Structure 1
């Protein structure tokens, strides 16, 4: 058993710690969000440059999610074993390496692999950042910490689409991947200066059998689903991969219930607030995950906008999200998690589905206002779900809970891209258009919007008063 190093205690006031630590983690989220938003804005141009159809480039998003799904299950154990600061810095470095590989890619295969490397870094970067935050402050500060964390991170969706669109339209798409480098260097420097290298004294042995089952199952399932209906492999092979992945995940579920410390401890889902946040939230995130992929395609391929104009419009949702962050704590303090999650799920689903109403000739200012509205309610749902997840989790289990929540969340977001792309393909095929047109998109937006409503029955099972300690801690605070 390795000797545990004593945690480094930084001599900073609680108020300062509640600000600076989330801000440092926000550097990582900012980098990840900028990267994700500039990529989806540039997908149509990037696809043509690589000789692929825009829908096929959903693999660029799915491969990133696969990287997350493979390595997120061990992020809690790795942070406990080697120290949260060490892992956080290393993850940023891996993510930066993947970015440079993306810039150098010359084919779909190399680009997909580079995105997988980025996913490896992201699998450790953001979840370990959350572990750092939720272990460094009391529960009464959680909502404030999430707001400090999320608002700077939302600058990524604000700056990413127009910046990526400008670079893609007037320069070259390869340059967008150099944006991450100075941000990553800043994040590593701030982590060295302000984050304690806390680790658990006895993290236990890594569950290698569980890691192989969960990683193999998640990656095979996600890759198989994303390849269905495409031209890269036969549908027989893609369906076989999907079934094999689902079988491995089922075997893992049976295995995890019989071992003491599985790599993904699904028994944590017995906690009602955690169950509602993770499983109920996963349905909402399917719809949320599809929007960054579908919306730029609808604006560029459906309505004929340039990447720059498209990015200038899609960033409007981030402004709506930022505004909601300023009132989220008051809303939760007034109404509580259960009521907010149930009622807001309807508005969030509507906000996603309404994107399907865009049509040629619609004024750009009207589209911008609809997208602005589309960021408001999903942002409240996202903040509520992320905060509720840790409401009743003991401190010793935060690492394991983060692994479970992050894997399910990322699989849901990846499924959103896959389902949205698949419905778009079906709609395009049934309408018989030679190229993608604006009317192909409304069924996809409608379907993914309905997933948000599916979260309501799961949330309704949560006991009254769940998360009240956190909600009261945020009452009256912006």
Structure 2
């Protein structure tokens, strides 16, 4: 069905919770894949006969594909319908998973991960767009909780399941398990997901899509090469500079078209702008922790993949426990106070990971990771919701594409920053391989970057997003 020309007049569909759970199932598949892969990186590195630090390209290649194709997600969903695009995205992601499992070397795995990313680039933003257009702002916090809670099962199940698969079966099955989930997701999307699209088709910004894709891909791979430190510095610098130049050309182009693929004018809305800036800084840490923690447990502590998975899953469990408290916390304190103080608490917990040592009692490590997952999950729930507080509903499509692009780019940057910090520390200390002090340095570096977000959040008005949270500033 076609949505009305004015999406702001839409009322919540009776089955919007059902739709949210179906969309969350796709997010579950994506999150499960990512967390399992992080746990399996050392075993995959051994299989491909490469350094474990070089396996970061398996994570960044996927995020690169997300960054390139997410900008087009809103326009494609408007043109072809959210149900068709969502279903096709699941199919592409599932096919990419099969090819990842069949990969015999790292380059083939990277190509397969790029295909996976094409599917993932449409699944999450299109699903979020359906909810944004179906739920009034006053119910958006609850709707996002319905969307995010099932998706968080992926990070909870991922590490221990990945450890079990790598230890007792083969790392290839971390990709094959996506196949039945993908088939079920396509069937459920066909039956329940509404075919939401705008009545008036807008011209697709092909030039902007090419420019943004070239710019983002050059930036991500330039940073990836720089973080590994095993290639000529001239190559990585050239890619980064080229990406910035093409990005500047895109900015010039975006001001001269009616519907740019990434609408920079959205940054005029204060809550959207501040959520993008502060959220980007915070996501550098969020992207680095799933990369650093399993490697630290396996290379630094000497844990097996299964053992490290059992330890690291606790942070995702903390994220799940938080979801029941998001609405009352935001109602009591509002978005600004929550983002400032909760952001500091979450970064303190991440910084404590730098002090982890094998002689620590396991219950203390579990406590730190549980609190870290709790506070970080609250932080991102607040960011993801307040971003749309001032955005008119007719611009949700472009806002979702823009916001999700930067979200994924910063997650990718987090992996690059963490890998770079590890490499510099290993080289500086003359270590043959990454050791515990090197991981400590990496954790402190990414924590420092994200702490900068706290003063940015102070710029939010006291009543920011009051319609969503129900908070009234005194």
- Scaled by the length of structure 2, what TM-score is found? 0.96
Deviates more, 1:225-234 or 1:279-288: 225-234
Q: Is 1:6–2:7 an aligned residue pair?
A: no
Report the alpha carbon displacement of residue 6 of structure 1 after superposing the two structures with TM: 3.3
CA contact (8 A) 1:27 1:184 kept: no
The CA deviation string for residues 27-55 of structure 1, in whole angstroms up to 9 with x for no partner, is 11000000000000000111111111111
1:231 shift after superposition:
6.1
Find 2:160's aligned residue among 162, 168, 180: 162
Structure 1 residue 355 displacement after superposition: 0.8
Q: Give the alignment partner of residue 370 of structure 2, picking from 347, 372, 375.
A: 372
1:231 to 1:51, Cα distance in 2 relative to 1, 3 A: farther
Q: Deviations over 1:56-103 (max 9, x none)?
A: 111001100110111111100000000000000000000001100110
Moved more, 84-93 or 15-24: 15-24
Residue of structure 2 in register with 1:19 after alignment: 17
Q: How far 1:376 moved relative to its partner?
A: 1.2
Structure 1 residues 175 and 433: CA distance shift in structure 2, 3 A: same
Alignment of 1:38-437 (within 5 A): 38-230=36-228, 233-437=231-435
Contact kept? 1:30, 1:155, Cα under 8 Å: yes
Helix, strand or coil: the match of 2:416? helix
Q: 1:14 and 1:231, CA in 2 relative to 1: closer, same or farther beyond 3 A?
A: closer
Give the equivalent residue in structure 1 for 2:28. 30
Distance 2:16 2:373 in 1: 26
The CA deviation at 1:234 is: 2.1
1:231–1:431 Cα change, 3 Å: closer
The alpha-carbon deviation at position 7 of structure 1 amounts to 4.2
Q: Per the alignment, in what secondary structure is the counterpart of residue 441 of structure 1?
A: helix
How far apart are residue 194 of structure 1 and its match? 1.2
Which position in structure 2 is the counterpart of 1:452? 450
With the length of structure 1 as denominator, give the TM-score of the two structures: 0.95
Mark the runs of 5 or more structure 1 residues left unpaired by the alignment: none
Aligned CA-pair RMSD: 1.6
| Matches of 2:160 and 2:395, distance apart in 1 | 40
> Which residues of structure 2 form unaligned runs of 5+?
5-10
Structure 1 residue 233 displacement after superposition? 3.6
Which SS does the other structure have where 1:258 is aligned?
coil
* Conservation of the 8 A alpha-carbon contact between 1:68 and 1:410: yes
Q: Distance between the aligned counterparts of 2:13 and 2:405, measured in 1? A: 31
Residues in 1 aligned to 2:259 and 2:107: alpha-carbon distance in whole angstroms: 36
> Per-residue deviation at 1:402?
0.5
